[in-house]
Amino acid sequence: MKDDTLWEMQWHPSDGGAFRRVVLTRRGLRGVLMGLGLLGLAVLAVMGALPLGLRGFLTSFTVDAARHENRALKAQEDSLREQAVALGGRLYELVQRGRRMAWTVGTSSQSWLTSCQLPPQRGLDDGSTIDWLTQVGERIETLGDELAAAAKGSLRCPLPSLPTGPPLDHLRAVPVSLFGWRESPFTGKTLAQYGTILAAPEGEAVLATGAGRVLFAGGVRERKANEWTRFGTVVVVDHGGEVATVFGHLRDVLVKRGQSVRRGDRLGTVGQTGWTRVPALYYEVRWPVAGGSRPIDPGLVTISLPVDELDARFSDPTAGLPTGWALLEHLVGSGVSRGPAHRPVRHDPQHVPRSAR
């Protein structure tokens, strides 16, 4: 095959030296093209191999970073869900307390009577949780407006006199027997209990749950008031409007008959007098229902106390208990024991009533 010249270049020096030339023939062109092709393939092979290793190296960092970020986001999401569930529980308790307060002050609206849906639990979808929180938030606002309006209206007794405060420091007292039917630890029989029993350390301060006047303070002496002996040393506070509170099983009495008290004032101390096997406080609320003042579930009014079956209590605050409670008239008309259980009134100048704190 003839090797034809395709291209030629010559250099002729101006000083008369030997000239040079470059000749490109067909064979040479084929050789150049083949060399360039091989070089190109080699470059492509190297470039194809290097990104694969680099890609794996870089991907390992990218995947680890993404996994770490996903774990952080998942932990944050779980934390927010836990917070939402906890907030739901607190809001539910707030609504239940608001409903009890609305019943206590006697709001004209009946919206408080409507049962509140149970708070969101773990596993509930986010949309349902948000809807529940929104609805309950609106309900709390409505209850607040109703309570504010009721406070300006006609109450059963003045607002400071309503027995809504705690009879004991809630951190040092445990409800051991609630209002309703219970088995007597002495006879084993099922008896009606017209108050709530709170176990607490002996000597723990017993507090007035609302402002009022002391009707009775001490132990029972006269036979006609024997029905009160099972409560041991007793203090009774009249809050007005046929509302009264009874405190039993006291060790010490720190007030006297006719004395005015404010919410949070000390009435006495927890004891073990009367029918009780441990230091405890018997606490009872008398309320104007069914045509007269009679015992109702204390938890309806005294917000710090628990209530069984709240909706049922709204319908019947007396829980259908029979009319066999001890009469205040017998106690108030009786004498007062001056034994060791009754001690002189103590005036502590450093004591600040809780209502003023």
* pLDDT value at residue 109: 64
* pLDDT value at residue 166: 95
Nearest-5° Cα angle at 295, 289 to 301: 80
222 pLDDT band, cuts 50/70/90, is: low
- Better pLDDT: 43 or 115: 115
67 pLDDT band, cuts 50/70/90, is: confident
Query: Model's pTM, two decimal places?
Result: 0.71
Domains of the chain are 159-356 (2.70.70.10)
Asked if residue 157 has pLDDT above 70, the reply is yes
> Mean of the per-residue pLDDT values for the chain?
80
- Better pLDDT: 41 or 338: 41
* CA pair distance 297, 305, nearest whole angstrom: 10
Report pLDDT digits (tens) over 172-200.
Answer: 999 999 998 888 776 778 888 999 999 99
How many C-beta atoms surround the C-beta of residue 228 within 10 A?
A: 23
301 pLDDT band, cuts 50/70/90, is: very high
Helices (H) and strands (E) in the chain, counts: 4, 15
* pLDDT value at residue 84: 82
* CA pair distance 8, 5, nearest whole angstrom: 7
Q: In the numeric block, which tokens belong to residue 16?
A: 């008369």
* Across 45-58, average pLDDT: 58
Asked if residue 344 has pLDDT above 60, the reply is no
Contact, 268 vs 206, CB < 8 A? Answer: yes
User: What is the SS3 assignment for 287?
Assistant: strand
Helices 126-151 and 26-105: crossing angle, nearest 10°?
Answer: 30
* pLDDT value at residue 61: 65
Contact, 196 vs 217, CB < 8 A? Answer: no
Report the length, in residues, of the chain: 357
- Better pLDDT: 301 or 126: 301
Residue 144 makes CB contacts below 8 A (sequence gap 6+) with 98
